[in-house]
Amino acid sequence: MKFRFLTAGESHGKCLTAIIEGVPAGFSINIENINKSLAKRQEGYGRGARMQIEKDRVIINSGVRHGYTTGAPVTLVIENKDWENWKIPMSVEPVNMDDPKTARLAEEKRITRVRPGHADLAGVIKYGHNDVRDVLERSSARETAIRAAVGAFAKGLLGEFGINIESRCDIDKEAIDRARQEGDTLGGMLEITAGNVPVGLGSYVHWDRRLDGRIAQAIMSIPAIKSVSIGAGEDVARLPGSQIHDEINTDYSRKTNNAGGIEGGMSNGMPIVVKAAMKPIPTLKKPLKSVDIATGQEHIAHYERSDVCALEAAGVVAEAMLAIIITDAFLEKFGGDSLEEIKKNVEKTA
């Protein structure tokens, strides 16, 4: 991947960090647009109390000078506003367990009751942990805040070429209220679109270069997403070819878009349309039956302050992941080290 990035950080750690490498020079950064994405990720009907504590804002620590990218790696940081309360249990350095207050603070955040639907059980087995917190702090959806920042950065870059990424979801507020009352949770369906994408991103020539596959990985990698589809999705399994395939006009336009903008693993010039199914949040107020890994006894699962529905937030993250994949495929096709050079290459092709 030419446009590559790594993310780091725990849910209640000091901060989330991302480094983006493969950024063209000369691109004007709009920090407020990134912050708007972060704010939108925190909103939405069904979010719990935690979202009030934090007001995520991105800090840029490298790769940008006087508002423009230099070509160097870009560091994005989101600080945890609640860090003061977590300094002991989440300390990087060993804490003094001989001090009773410290020991209590450290101990009371320890978790041994694994939650169904989470990384908890497989995570402690894989990494040999005996405190579930060592898993859940990283497996938490909190990590997606920094992906949202990286994605907002990518969206800004794509915006220079007229490509726009959007998402929408149908939120049933009544159903959410009902679930909240019952201590239950809800998921839902998302739709993410990319408009004005040039023809020929991705390729059919090798399986791992197909744009649909790369999008599928990126969207499925969002916590709680269990299904990804392009265009007409599962309907393609039910309808005959004559009703599915999008006839081509002499100007290469189409009347329909069942393909969702991708044919042969390439963008075909129509809007890219992705749908994703999000499962309900696995942390239930009315907890599920589970086991305590310390005692081996049956126990209800640990409950840590959580949301009833995070569908709108997932939409922001899905936009981010789609923007990242399209940016990568775009830079792969058009090359170029600076915004100006890329624009020349794009023009030449058009």
In the region spanning residues 204 to 263, those forming contacts with a copy of itself, defined by CB under 8 A, are 204-208, 210, 212-223, 225-242, 244-250, 252, 254, 259-260, 263
Task: Give the DSSP letter of residue 40.
Answer: H
Q: Is 40 in the site for a copy of itself (CB under 8 A)?
A: no
Q: Is 93 in the site for a copy of itself (CB under 8 A)?
A: yes
Taking CB under 8 A as the binding criterion, the range among 37-45, 49-57, 68-76, 154-162 that sits at the site for a copy of itself is: 68-76
In the region spanning residues 155 to 174, those forming contacts with a copy of itself, defined by CB under 8 A, are none
In the region spanning residues 328 to 347, those forming contacts with a copy of itself, defined by CB under 8 A, are 331-338, 340-341, 344-345
What phi and psi values does residue 266 have, to the nearest 5 degrees? -125, 150
Taking CB under 8 A as the binding criterion, the range among 16-24, 33-41, 43-51, 153-161 that sits at the site for a copy of itself is: 16-24
Cα(91)–Cα(164) distance, rounded to whole angstroms? Answer: 41
Identified binder of a copy of itself from the candidate list 38, 90, 158, 326, rule CB under 8 A: 90
Interior angle at CA 243, CA 238 and CA 246, nearest 5: 120
Identified binder of a copy of itself from the candidate list 38, 78, 119, 316, rule CB under 8 A: 119
Candidates 150, 151, 186; CA nearest to 169 is 186
Length of the chain: 350
Q: How far is CA 270 from CA 164, 248, 311, 331, in A?
A: 13, 11, 26, 19
Q: How far is CA 305 from CA 51, 183, 188, 193, 283, in A?
A: 10, 12, 21, 32, 8
Identified binder of a copy of itself from the candidate list 21, 54, 160, 304, rule CB under 8 A: 21
Identified binder of a copy of itself from the candidate list 33, 35, 39, 60, rule CB under 8 A: 60
Nearest residue (CB) to a copy of itself, 119 versus 313: 119
In the region spanning residues 295 to 324, those forming contacts with a copy of itself, defined by CB under 8 A, are 296-298, 321
Nearest residue (CB) to a copy of itself, 101 versus 207: 207
Identified binder of a copy of itself from the candidate list 44, 151, 156, 282, rule CB under 8 A: 282
Identified binder of a copy of itself from the candidate list 35, 54, 129, 160, rule CB under 8 A: 129
DSSP 91-123: -SS---TTSHHHHHHHHTT---BPPTTSSHHHH
Angle of helix 211-220 relative to helix 311-334, nearest 10 degrees?
150
How many Å from the N-terminal Cα to the C-terminal Cα in the chain? 24
